[in-house]
A and B are shown apart, each in its own frame.
Chain A
Amino acid sequence: MKLKAASGLVALLPSLALIPVLIGILKGLHIGGLPVLVNFLSSSLHPSLNATVLQSSWKGLQVTVYIAAISWLLSIFLGLILAIGSSKIIFQTIGLPNWLRLLIRMTLSFPRAIHELIWGLILLQLIGLSPWIAIIAIIIPYSSLTARVIGDQIDALDIKPLEALKVCGAKPLSALITTIIPKIIPVITSYGGYRFECALRGATLLGVFGLGGIGTELQLSFQSLKFEEMWTSLWMLAGLMFIVELLVNYFHKINIGSEQTEFNKKLRIDYLIAIITITFLCYQFISGDNYSNISWHPIQLPSRLELIQAANELDIIKLISNTLILTFLSAGIAIGTPPLWMMIWPHHSYLRIQSLIWGFFRLIPPPLSALILLLSTNPNIYVAALALGAHNMGVMGRLLKEGIEQNGNSTAIAFESLGAKPSQTWLYGCLNPNAPSYLAYSAYRTDVLIRQTAVLGLVGGTGLGWQLLESISSFNWAEIAVLIIIYAIITLTGESITDHLRIYWDSKNKLDFTS
């Protein structure tokens, strides 16, 4: 019991990051931005219903769905192939050396070390303006990420059935297909649905940086502070997110707790056909657009001398330390706030309000929330940390809520009947059983956050991301190359640390984190 209490408290610990951030923000707080803030909030109640605005937002929404759907399907497919291709089970069955597998895995970690936004900005330089850029930019890191997650799942599978089949004389390949594929399908449907949401968020953010879709609409209205028009796009995006969330929940529910009935299998095929149809329609749209041809426009690669010179000119230590501070603070907020909030207000009706709040924060891209925050406080790194943290808090909050709902509340009821206070009941009955899986997932989120620091350039000199945007605007390729290498090193180091943490928390946890 003592040990269990610890993991719940560990989940609360990161919320300590709120203290410096809130102090930093409150210190600079002023009411000068109040009129703009009020305008922003009240505009949500009367978004612009002007026909051209509606039409243009609707088109943007469609493009975002196209980009998300195609990149999602392709990245799952690619990820699956890569996952199987780099799994222990395959290498042992076919009899390939293990070092080759480790080498493949290491190479695969590079694509995901770079945020899709940075891939997008680089591809834009090399390929030109095309809807395919956003798609490729999402596919590169997402397929590598999917490969990692599904690969971990495959390696965790029980290999006894496989060995049994092989003993009986089955060919390695057919033995593999019969044993692995059925086990992996539930993982894909459950994790895959979640990836679609990520792809939508990714596509929206790419749009904010000019790669088309609803993000572009949002950003254009926002740059001119036309909040009513911005809310037209935001509400449309909210509607889409709502539908997708229902779908993800649905796939989740048919996955857990239900036996693999014939009915479910048939249903899956129905949905598979529906999803492929949607993606095909999207593909038709994009390739029907004469604007979609891709041609290669290489840039002159910087020489070694130029790279060294660029590395010397950049204040690398300051950039890295700022990036790390930003990551730690925002990770603390993202991970620690949801359990803290739920502990303080554990009642059901509050939980419902909380899910609305999580949804709101997931909806608004961090660059937008940063500017809104900045209107009422002085510029400093805490503004960036809060904006980034709040967005990811939305993701973590929902995850925690879902985890608790799934695990049932028998422990909580037991505590309650013993006369514990609601917050104690929540801490020991709800949070503790879920904390290990929550923390294991938090490790993944922290990786994501390191990459996401790239999206905030508003506050001067906030880190690598800020410098990268500045270097891109000067077309300084040597600096860009140096910054990307540093990014990759930080992310990969971070990943290996969080990997250990995740394995530690996973070992305390019977459920897998995807559920």
Chain B
Amino acid sequence: MSLHLKGKICILALISIVGVTFLGSKAQDSLIVSAIPDQNPEKLNRLYNLLTNELENKLNVPVRYVPVTNYASAVSAFRTRSLDLVWFGGLTGVQARLQRPGAKVIAQRDIDAKFHSVFIANTSTGIKPFSNQSGLKAIRGKRFTFGSQSSTSGRLMPQFFLQRAGVKVSDFSGGNAGFSGSHDATIALVQSGSYEVGALNEQVWSTRVKSGNIDLSKVQVIWRSPAYADYHWLAQPDIDNRFGKGFTTKLQRTLLNLSRKSKKQSEILDLFGANRFIKATSSQYTDIEKIGRKLGKIK
């Protein structure tokens, strides 16, 4: 093949990548929905139209889903009003409310009012399951990993319980805790033995155990944390002005009415790992805020 022909073919290939299937543009004001990348974010990123279609049908406004891959950018995007309705964790929700005063807590899952973290350990460490918080002392000097930096169940609350048991992050092997980036990565890294102990969201753990993805001879739960309030939907304070009076209430009702009886709605609930959504208030998260301030995650 001649050199010039080759060059032309390459250019053509590039044009076809750019040109094939353009997304339609929307000029109207739409409700922008997003979620922190917590569990199955890739699934949500592909199946979000289940949710957006449902909201569009019930609310009669254009709805768009925008993916984010890290917790902090979800908070920032909420502050800069790039996102209208976001599925936040406990800590990120509080951070977002502080940066955007007046934001409204819309709903949480049935499991979020009393949520738990689990500490898991590689069985080679010989650490036996314990029921008392002070048992956490046994993981001093071990290689330990959290999940994502801003995760409530994978970092904030575990660090809080560690502190209460008198264990500092500098007590771990290497003088610091690792950040695996996600709950799934924490499981994989502790199961492999690279990290000896880790902490994560209990719900992700039990879902993965049920689906048979975990080798329980290599990794096991050593402690289940006390309960705390976690994930919730948060909406911008001004959506009533933008989409009409009573919009926030309508939105809340739509989410609360999602039911297992409808197949489509069932699929949406599955995406969020929920049985159903229930009402929530910001006062449920005052403890999270206090702990966040104490650990320096909230200024």
* Chain A residues in the interface with B (C-beta under 8 A): 28, 30, 32-33, 36, 52-53, 55-56, 58-59, 61-62, 65-66, 69, 121, 124-130, 207-210, 212, 216-217, 219-221, 223-226, 229, 240, 243-244, 246-247, 250-251, 253-254, 267, 271, 274, 277-278, 281-282, 285, 288-291, 295, 297, 367, 371, 374-380, 457-461, 469-470, 472-476
Contact = CB atoms under 8 A, between A and B. Distances in A.
Contact of B178 (A128, A291, A297, A460): A460
Contacts of B266: none
Contacts of A247: 7, 10-11, 14
7 contacts: A62-B18, A208-B69, A223-B69, A247-B10, A271-B11, A285-B22, A460-B176
A210 B75 contact: no
B71 interface: yes
Nearest to B170: A461
A59 B23 contact: yes
A476 B17 CA distance: 41
A474 B66 contact: no
Contacts of A219: 37, 69
A128 to B, nearest CB: 3
A278 B15 contact: yes
Main secondary structure of the interface of A (DSSP, over half): helix
B42 A129 contact: no
A126 B80 CA distance: 7
Nearest to B66: A129
Interface of B: 3-4, 6-7, 10-11, 13-15, 17-23, 25-28, 30, 32, 37, 39-43, 45-47, 64, 66-73, 75-77, 79-83, 95, 99, 122, 143, 145, 149-150, 169, 172, 174-182, 184-185, 188-189, 191-195, 218, 296-299
A461 B169 CA distance: 11
B216 to A, nearest CB: 14
B67 A220 contact: yes
Nearest to B77: A129
- A-B pairs with lowest CB-CB distance, top 4: A128-B80, A460-B176, A33-B192, A32-B193
A223 B11 contact: no
B3 A474 contact: no
Contact of B189 (A28, A375, A472): A375
A36 B213 CA distance: 11
B194 A243 contact: no
B180 A240 contact: no
A44 B228 CA distance: 41
Contact of A30 (B95, B178, B192): B192
A476 B10 contact: no
Nearest to B194: A374
Given A274-B11, A473-B149, A124 B179 contact: no
Contacts of A281: 15, 18-19
Given A224-B41, A274-B15, 6 more contacts: A32-B122, A210-B68, A291-B82, A374-B194, A460-B179, A461-B174
A512 to B, nearest CB: 22
Given A375-B194, A457-B179, A458-B181, A229 B6 contact: no
Contact of B69 (A58, A220, A274, A376): A220
Contacts of A221: 42
A291 B18 CA distance: 19
B149 A469 contact: yes
B225 to A, nearest CB: 21
Nearest to B43: A224
A475 B10 CA distance: 44
Contact of A209 (B14, B15, B70): B70
Contacts, number: 219
Contacts of B64: 291
Contact of A474 (B25, B26, B191, B296): B296
Nearest to B146: A460
Contacts of B182: 223-224
B188 A36 contact: yes
A32 B194 contact: yes
A473 B159 CA distance: 15
A223 B95 contact: no
Given A129-B66, A290-B27, A223 B178 contact: no
A376 B192 contact: yes
A290 B14 contact: no
A129 B298 contact: no
A243 B185 contact: no
A220 B194 contact: no
Given A128-B76, A210-B73, A220 B42 contact: yes
Interface centre among B27, B172, B194 (most CB of A within 10 A): B194
B7 A223 contact: no
Contacts of B192: 30, 32-33, 36, 375-376
Contacts of B13: 243
A14 B82 CA distance: 46
Contacts of A66: 18
A254 B110 CA distance: 65
Nearest to A223: B182
A321 to B, nearest CB: 13
A240 B17 contact: yes
Interface centre among A129, A282, A289 (most CB of B within 10 A): A129
B184 A224 contact: yes
A224 B194 contact: no
A461 B176 contact: yes
Contacts of B22: 285, 288
A469 B179 CA distance: 11
A203 B102 CA distance: 35
Contacts of A129: 66, 68, 73, 77, 80, 82-83
Nearest to B22: A285
Contacts of B174: 379-380, 459-461
Contact of A223 (B21, B30, B83, B184): B184
A179 B22 CA distance: 43
Nearest to B295: A474
A125 B76 contact: yes
Given A36-B188, A62-B18, A278-B15, A472 B72 contact: yes
